[in-house]
Structure 1
Amino acid sequence: MELEKFMKEDQRLVILRSLQEMPGYEANESIIDCCLDGWGHRVSRDAVRMHLSWLEEMALVSLRDLGDYKIATLTGRGEDVATGQAVVPGVKRPRAQ
């Protein structure tokens, strides 16, 4: 169970950090899925959606529905968590650079 918790926390951090690199700090769930895959997290689209919903509940991203998919936009609070300036339980804290 501890490994599962660690994996979820790391996946959420990868999502936030990926959004930092995107133009306009936003991406659709397909791009986010590719980013996770690129960092070694092969997860289902359903898992991506669950992470995005959780991140929205924590006010780390905002979501827009566009028919069959969602667009996630990084919030200021989400950027603070991605850079380690704020801590949210459930998101891995990044290492110092």
Structure 2
Amino acid sequence: MTNLIIADQRLALLQSLVACNNDANQNILQTCLAQYGHNISMDLVRNHMLWLEEQGLVKNNHLDITGTDLLVATITQRGLDVTNGVSVVDGVKKPNPRY
């Protein structure tokens, strides 16, 4: 069950990036995930962002804001393909078909 929830959170994060014009910071993404029903910690948001980068689905930019490392993710073409159901990546839920 945990793997299903994690996969859904990762898909929701990618969908949030698309909704935010393809890039957003970790704070915005945490708020977006809550709108999808995933009220998760910032640590878990960052973990997902780093994992998605390892898979080539996003590119993260590290910004030093007054001594705090802020991640800003930009979705890649591969990430868009996964979000649109064109590609499948283990660990990311496949989106429901659009009618």
Question: Paired residue for 2:5?
Answer: 7
What is the alpha-carbon distance in structure 2 between the residues aligned to residue 73 and residue 86 of structure 1? 18
TM-score norm. by structure 1 comes to: 0.95
What is the alpha-carbon distance in structure 2 between the residues aligned to residue 15 and residue 42 of structure 1? 12
Number of residue pairs matched by the alignment: 94
Q: Structure 1: which amino acid aligns with 2:79?
A: G
What is the alpha-carbon distance in structure 2 between the residues aligned to residue 48 and residue 30 of structure 1? 9
Segments of structure 1 that go 5 or more residues without pairing to the other structure are: none
Q: Which portions of structure 1, spanning 4 or more consecutive aligned residues, are displaced by more than 4 angstroms? A: none
Segments of structure 2 that go 5 or more residues without pairing to the other structure are: none
Tell me, yes or no, if structure 1 residue 22 matches structure 2 residue 20.
yes
Q: Structure 1: which amino acid aligns with 2:83?
A: A
Quick one: percent identity of the two aligned structures?
44
TM-score norm. by structure 2 comes to: 0.93
Q: What root-mean-square deviation, in Å, do the aligned CA atoms of Structure 1 and Structure 2 show?
A: 0.6
Question: Paired residue for 2:95?
Answer: 94
Question: Paired residue for 1:61?
Answer: 58
